[in-house]
Amino acid sequence: MPYDPSDPLKDRITDIGPRYYEEFLPPVIKNNKGKWLYHDIIEPGVLVHVSETGDEVYTVRVGGCRLMSIEHIREMCEIADKHCDGYLRFTTRNNIEFMVDSKDKVKPLMDDLKSRKFEKGSNKFPIGGTGAGVTNIVHTQGWAHCHTPAIDASGVVKAVMDGIYDEFGSMRLPAPVRVSLACCLNMCGAVHCSDIAILGIHRKPPMIDHEWIDKLCELPLAIAACPTAAIKPAKTESGLKTLEVKAERCMFCGNCYTMCAAMPLADEDGSGVAILVGGKLSNRISKPKFSKVVVPFIPNQPPRWDDTVEIIKNIVDVYAKDARKYERLGDWAERIGWERFFEKTNLPFTHHLIDDYRFAYTTWRQSTQIKF
């Protein structure tokens, strides 16, 4: 029975959860689950996993835009039908993986992937994203879909990935470099543990839509939303209930705007990019660590965000030349010292980079172990 708009709850099915993953596993994966012995990266973007049964699975990893049309998904299906018995998978970092069960199927698959380009010339399926290189950028919605962003997401990602494209298709860095983007401090992208994080920030306190705020918002919720207690009740000259923001206490987190649509803070000059570096998630050698703010603000520069791209390229280049094998960006910065990091990368160190929020003291230096 098709949907009946006059009786929307008829035959309703709810709470059935996702489809069971097992039906989507390619046979070679299903047959060898839990039996894998080891893997090798044969070339950038191409992995082989070997099972104790003797089976092998070859994976070709390609970068994708997470903002993707169904026409594009159908093209991926066509490729998977042609080469991969009708299966594929996506990775946590927006890559797509095409898997085949024998080595002779790898080259035809790769040739096919490499041959496909968009009309204006960009690659549809760039191969790479493995090992000691840059893999795809995880990111958020930006100006394509979100109400709180300080920056775009997809466009910045495109510009940055064009800038460091060679590192996606090679493995010549000291260790993996994970780049992430979140278009505001809400961080749907949770970029706070990335080697390089591109973060949208605001620098102007919220405006207040005095005529409408009491109709649109629960005023006490907006007041309570402020972590620095900068918002208090007020009255307009005409006697309407409204709010007032003590601007010098605002740290531009945008939490009030999340609670109240009548307090917009995005601005063409006020909003832009901050760069954080040195975070990691893996426990390998050193513990997981947070990314640190090393560039407090870069203006929005659509369409190609030139300064952001240049700064990231420079950080990657300096790191690539100076770090030791296996050393993640944050481990390198800690070994040489943050004073050296700023010297080598030629980035200015300003007071904006010294923490003055909740855990500030834990990041100040209590020692005379310093470099000159």
Site for other proteins in 212-251 (CB under 8 A): 221, 224-225, 227
Among 112, 170, 338, 340, binds other proteins (CB under 8 A): 170
**321 touches other proteins by CB under 8 A:** no
Place of tokens 């190609």: 304
CB 185 within 8 A of CB 201: yes
Alpha-carbon torsion angle 166, 168, 172, 175, nearest 10: 140
How many angstroms from the chain centroid is the CA of residue 313? 17
Closest approach of other proteins to the CB of residue 2, in Å: 8
Site string (273-302) toward other proteins, x via CB under 8 A: ------x-xxxxxx-x-x---------x-x
CB 166 within 8 A of CB 185: no
How many angstroms from the chain centroid is the CA of residue 251? 23
Instruction: Choose the binding region for other proteins from 236-244, 261-269, 338-346, 364-372 (rule: CB under 8 A).
Output: 261-269
Q: Cβ closer to other proteins: 91 or 314?
A: 91
Q: Cβ closer to other proteins: 359 or 372?
A: 359
Closest approach of other proteins to the CB of residue 117, in Å: 9
Pick from 265, 257, 149: nearest CA to 213: 257
How many angstroms separate the CA atoms of 13 and 256, rounded? Answer: 37
Q: Cβ closer to other proteins: 140 or 345?
A: 140
How many angstroms separate the CA atoms of 135 and 95, rounded? Answer: 8
**9 touches other proteins by CB under 8 A:** yes
Instruction: Choose the binding region for other proteins from 103-111, 184-192, 334-342, 346-354 (rule: CB under 8 A).
Output: 184-192
Secondary structure of residue 247 in the 3-state scheme = helix
How many angstroms separate the CA atoms of 275 and 297, rounded? Answer: 8
How many angstroms separate the CA atoms of 269 and 130, rounded? Answer: 38
How many angstroms separate the CA atoms of 274 and 296, rounded? Answer: 5
**371 touches other proteins by CB under 8 A:** no
Closest approach of other proteins to the CB of residue 348, in Å: 23
How many angstroms separate the CA atoms of 105 and 83, rounded? Answer: 7
**344 touches other proteins by CB under 8 A:** no
**361 touches other proteins by CB under 8 A:** no
Pick from 153, 162, 172, 164: nearest CA to 41: 172
Q: Cβ closer to other proteins: 146 or 353?
A: 146
Instruction: Choose the binding region for other proteins from 180-188, 205-213, 242-250, 333-341 (rule: CB under 8 A).
Output: 180-188
Near other proteins in 107-166, by CB under 8 A = 118-126, 130-133, 138-149, 152, 154-155, 158-159, 161-162, 165
**71 touches other proteins by CB under 8 A:** yes
The enclosing H or E element of 64 equals: none
Number of residues located near other proteins, criterion CB under 8 A: 139
**76 touches other proteins by CB under 8 A:** yes
Near other proteins in 22-61, by CB under 8 A = 23-26, 29, 33-34, 36-44, 49, 57, 59
CB 344 within 8 A of CB 197: no
Q: Cβ closer to other proteins: 46 or 347?
A: 46
Give Rg (Cα) of the chain.
25
**65 touches other proteins by CB under 8 A:** yes
